[in-house]
Chains A and B, each alone.
Chain A
Amino acid sequence: MRKTVLPRAVPARFLVVSDPSREEDWGRLTGLSSQGAALTSLAPLKVGSRVLLSWEIHGQKFEIEGRVLTAQQEISGYFTSFIFFTRNSDRRKISSFLIDFLSLNIEGASGIRTRE
């Protein structure tokens, strides 16, 4: 499978909507598709919880609602969670961004590269 990667994981904030007692936290996105995102953070997330995820890539800001699909603790101590985007409008927005972003950034530009 051919993948396009950015050289540094994107900083992101997240708020657990289903747990109002929890403060806003932060982590980094390590994967992004039109359907969901992979998030790595020091703070754990529970499977099934609803989160509001905010990040910025190349000047474009996103605030997307999602549900935690899986959550695993890595050997380093960080938690990796997969967040499924629950709103169709959000998925369309991300899809449109990815189309523009990936088509405008040819290999080697903006630190982007592709790998097998």
Chain B
Amino acid sequence: MISIALLSSSEEKRREISLLLGEIGVLVYGVDNLAGLKEIIGSQNPRLIMVLEENSSFEEIVRETISLFPQKPVISILSSRDAQRAVKLMLLGSEEVLSFPLGKEQLRAALNRAGKLPVVSLSLVPPASLRGLYFYAFFFTALLALGLTGWIIHKHAETLREAQLSQRNSWVLPYFYPSALAFDGENAWVADWFSQSLYEHSTGSWAVKRVIHFPNEMPVSIAVTPNAIWTVDASGKIVRRLKNLSLTPVESYNQVPETTAIAFDGLYLWTYNSATKRLSKRLTDSRLSEVASYPYPGTQATALVFIHNSLWSLDGPDREILLHDINHPDQIISKTPLPEYSNGKYAPTGLGFDGKNFWTVAQSLPAGSAKAILFRHQKPNPL
């Protein structure tokens, strides 16, 4: 059972919060001053300290509590909502700030995270000239290494790898914030929004074959066709690109804002608008003219995939793959749950089909706490 120290001079408030915390299985040691708090910390060693606001010197009491017990997480509770003061208290060192009226879910979440405050990741993509240098250095080093060692171990490694791959169903990828996944028959493509890059992977080992960086775009969805790659930027801008070494942009479309997922069926481009939660079927003309539009039948489409004549979507919040009725895409033919996500450690962000299996790419929760992961799923029925 988790135990906490609760600092408040009001017996009534201590009782009120103790009751709430008791309901979620927390043992509360109530104290009415700092001397009492010192005694409780020394004798009972509670996991964290909660400090309630009661008078104008609240910030001072919080500051003193943090300086007296720097090893204990401190949660401050304001008597009323005030974002400015909440941030000020966090800057003073409070791990979390809550405010009245308190809810059980709020308390439970704050207690869950106490002592496990996440870090903040800062990222800056290197300038274009250095990117080119890094890319070629990496490319030639990889070529040299492959030339020296690849041929000798090729046959043995291939046999071994095939045996291993047939048993594996998940792979860790070398970046943190994947946003989309697509297959082109030979290779797989994964977009990472944080590094603003598209990674081309070999589907055998999932090694990175090349990285294409988009200096002015944050890719959130991709669709691969035999001759082109379509990307969607976080602003909703859709770009059609040549499938060459640098993925040269051919045409940009700004007419479809709020687009967060796309798929190409061979003739039409399908888009999903996250704000209106609608699927649209579009011509690939200069305005991406809408031919038809349908309400999305799930919670939120994270990715769209076309397989022959069938439209599939990844419902990210519900962790399900949906098969749509192609004549009535607002109706679902089948739902396939993804048990790989049941532990809540990852959130699926991209869906792809390699001709045999569905694959999803996912980012860790809390975001950035672990590298991206790729799951191979059983083929849903009916295909």
* CA A74 to CA B105, docked complex, whole Å: 13
- Which of B33-41, B46-54, B120-128, B153-161 faces chain A? B120-128
Assess whether B379 is interfacial by the CB under 8 Å rule: no
B194 near A13: Cβ-Cβ < 8 Å: no
B260 interface residue (CB < 8 Å to A): yes
A69 to B300, CA, bound (A): 12
Contact residues in A for B84 (Cβ distance below 8 Å): 13, 24
A30 in contact with B124 (CB, 8 Å): no
CB contact between A78 and one of B109, B125, B317 (< 8 Å): that residue? B109
Given contacts A42-B106, A75-B365, A84-B235, contact A30 B121 (CB under 8 A): yes
0/1 string, A17-57, CB within 8 A of B gives 1: 00000011110111111111010101000011000000110
B83 lies within 8 A of A24 (CB): yes
Residue from the set B108, B121, B347 with the largest chain A CB neighbour count within 10 Å: B121
Q: Smallest distance from the beta carbon of A18 to chain B beta carbons, Å? A: 9
Say if the beta carbon of B131 comes within 8 Å of chain A: no
B161-198 residues with Cβ-Cβ distance < 8 A to A are: 174-177, 193-196
Cβ-closest chain B residue relative to A98: B124
- Verify B120–A32 contact, CB threshold 8 A: yes
Size class of the contact patch on chain B: 35 or more
B258 sits at the interface (CB 8 A): yes
CA distance A56 to B118 in the complex (A): 17
Residue from B110, B120, B300 with most neighbouring chain A CB atoms (10 Å): B120
Q: Are B121 and A3 in contact (CB under 8 A)?
A: yes
> How far, in Å, is B97 (CB) from chain A's closest CB?
7
Q: Does B333 contact A (CB under 8 A)?
A: no
Whether A35 touches B119, Cβ cut-off 8 Å, given contacts A76-B113, A78-B366, is: no
List A residues at the B interface (Cβ < 8 Å): 1, 3-14, 23-26, 28-36, 38, 40, 42, 47-48, 55-56, 67, 69-70, 72, 74-78, 80, 82, 84, 86, 95, 98-99, 101-102
B binding-site residues for A, Cβ under 8 Å: 81, 83-84, 86-87, 90-91, 96-98, 105-106, 108-110, 112-113, 117-125, 174-177, 193-196, 218, 220, 234-235, 258, 260, 274-275, 300, 302, 316-317, 343-345, 347, 349, 365-368
